């Protein structure tokens, strides 16, 4: 029986697609070069690693990531409050359409924080969804509309959030922009809080090198109170090197600043990661993130941190199981202090099918 099972796994892996869909589990291990969460309050976009999740800050990347369906299972992701999300994308004529459910960081209402819509015991989550459209018409372009709303069972208590994102690939430039069209939290018939957000950025392809720059400005206005504003920006680079057949070495470094009403935060992250095809059906990966930081009045992020993370992708024909090693002991999730099978080794996983 054991021999038959082993043979099945190897045979299935031999037909695995090399262009398998990636996931948050992969980005948790490899890093994102986004220490102040300017692109995302979770793990939906890396500035130095090519990854399918990057479609959520530049939807034009969907032209290169077609025909998939994915389900994410989460034990704990920074910046989110749910345990599951997922969606699909498919070709229709010359276009690629995508639909994705419950990506909580799509509605972040103030730079570096997840959205909070509600008041006291009536606070309820907003369950967002993304609708994506991308085409290659000589210029690759794409748009993403993120929407979420709730009604909290109390008179006049409701919320709505709508954000438009757009991106393109023109020559070697890959610009992207996002704009919050609606950010409303109605607490009562006389109190309505409002959010606004704008993000601008671009990546540039220069052989193995990818320089990037990002700027974001947010504001949150509670009725009858002064606005809270936050501005953040960053510049940096990434490099993707092919070390051998099936082995990629990547590294990136950048400089980031965020200013808000409470102070200023500065971050200098350095990411180093490696992925290699151990067999036809197994890819293993590891990532080291080293962070230098200074903080003046800002307590929303750690002053400094270093993480070392491990993960893998198991391939079975056109299906891929992505996995990040974790632990519920110590600090928990992917940076737990215990490495064993008894403390939540499968912190995060996703199953994706490509066709």
Q: Give pLDDT tens digits for 131-187.
A: 999 999 999 999 999 998 877 666 667 788 899 999 999 999 999 999 999 988 777
Least confident of 5-19, 27-41, 178-192, 235-249: 5-19
* Model pLDDT, residue 16: 36
Mean pLDDT of 274-279: 95
Q: What is the DSSP letter of 6?
A: H
Percent of the chain with pLDDT over 70: 73
- Tell me the percentage of the chain whose pLDDT exceeds 90: 43
**Residues 124, 298, 226, 163: what is their CA dihedral angle, to the nearest 10 degrees?**
-50
Q: For 108-117, 215-224, 250-259, 303-312, which range has the lowest pLDDT when averaged over its residues?
A: 108-117
Residue with more model confidence, 328 or 305: 305
267 Cβ contact list (under 8 Å, min separation 6): 35, 36, 255, 256, 257, 291, 292, 293, 301
**What residues have CB less than 8 Å from 266, skipping those under 6 apart?**
255, 256, 257, 293, 294, 295
Q: How far is CA 354 from CA 5, 66, 97, in A?
A: 23, 8, 15
Q: With CA atoms as reference, report the closest residue to 49 among 63, 32, 29, 25.
A: 32
Which is higher by pLDDT, 194 or 340? 194
pLDDT band at 20 (very low <50, low <70, confident <90, very high): very low
Asked if the model's pLDDT at residue 94 lies above 50, the reply is yes
Task: Tell me how far CA of residue 89 lies from CA of 92, 99, 122, in angstroms.
Answer: 10, 6, 35
Beta strands in the chain (DSSP E): 68-74, 84-92, 95-101, 129-136, 140-151, 158-169, 173-186, 192-204, 209-221, 228-244, 247-260, 263-279, 282-296, 305-316, 319-325, 346-354
Mean pLDDT for the stretch of residues 209-224? 88
Interval 231-252 mean pLDDT: 94
Q: What distance in Å separates the CA atoms of residue 294 and residue 239, rounded to the nearest whole number? A: 26
pLDDT at 28: 85
- What is the structure's pLDDT at 87? 94
E strand spans, 1-56:
none
Check residue 168 and give its pLDDT: 98
**Which pLDDT band holds residue 333 (cuts at 50, 70, 90)?**
low
Query: Does residue 7 carry a pLDDT above 50?
Result: no
Question: Which pLDDT value is given to residue 297?
Answer: 53
Contact 193, 223 (CB under 8 A): yes
* Tens digits of residue pLDDT in 24-81: 888 888 989 998 888 876 678 899 998 888 999 999 999 998 899 999 886 544 444 4
- Predicted local confidence at residue 155, as pLDDT: 61
CB atoms within 10 A of CB 153: 9
Q: What pTM value is reported for the model?
A: 0.85
β-strand partners of 270: 253, 290
């Amino acid at each position: 029986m054991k021999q038959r099972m082993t043979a099945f796994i190897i045979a299935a892996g031999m037909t695995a697609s090399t262009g398998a869909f990636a996931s948050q589990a992969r980005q948790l291990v490899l890093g994102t070069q986004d220490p102040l969460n300017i692109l995302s309050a979770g793990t939906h976009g890396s500035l130095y690693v090519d990854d399918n999740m990057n479609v959520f800050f530049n939807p034009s990347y969907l032209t290169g990531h077609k025909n998939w369906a994915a389900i994410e299972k989460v034990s704990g992701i920074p910046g989110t409050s749910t345990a599951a999300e997922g969606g699909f994308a498919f070709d229709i004529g010359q276009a690629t359409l995508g639909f994705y459910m419950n990506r909580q960081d799509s509605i972040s209402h103030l730079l570096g924080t997840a959205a909070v819509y509600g008041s006291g015991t009536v606070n309820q989550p907003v369950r967002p969804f993304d609708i994506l459209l991308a085409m290659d018409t000589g210029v690759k372009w794409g748009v993403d509309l993120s929407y979420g709303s709730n009604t909290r069972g109390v008179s006049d208590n409701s919320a709505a959030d709508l954000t438009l994102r757009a991106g393109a690939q023109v020559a070697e430039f890959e610009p992207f922009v996002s704009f919050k069209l609606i950010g409303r939290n109605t607490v009562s018939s006389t109190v309505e809080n409002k959010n606004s957000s704008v993000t601008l950025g671009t990546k540039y392809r220069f052989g193995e090198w990818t320089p990037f720059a990002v700027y974001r400005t947010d504001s949150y206005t509670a009725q009858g109170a002064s606005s809270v504003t936050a501005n953040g920006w960053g510049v940096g680079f990434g490099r993707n090197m092919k070390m051998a057949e099936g082995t990629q070495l990547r590294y990136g470094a950048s400089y980031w600043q965020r200013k808000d009403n409470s102070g200023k935060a500065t971050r200098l992250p350095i990411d180093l990661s490696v992925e290699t095809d151990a067999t036809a059906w197994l890819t293993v990966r590891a990532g080291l993130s080293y962070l230098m930081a200074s903080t003046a009045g800002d307590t929303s992020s750690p002053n400094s941190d270093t993480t070392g993370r491990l993960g893998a992708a198991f391939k079975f024909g056109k299906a891929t199981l992505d996995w990040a090693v974790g632990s519920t002991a110590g600090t928990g999730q992917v940076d737990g202090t215990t490495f064993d099978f008894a403390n939540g080794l499968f912190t995060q996983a996703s199953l994706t099918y490509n066709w």
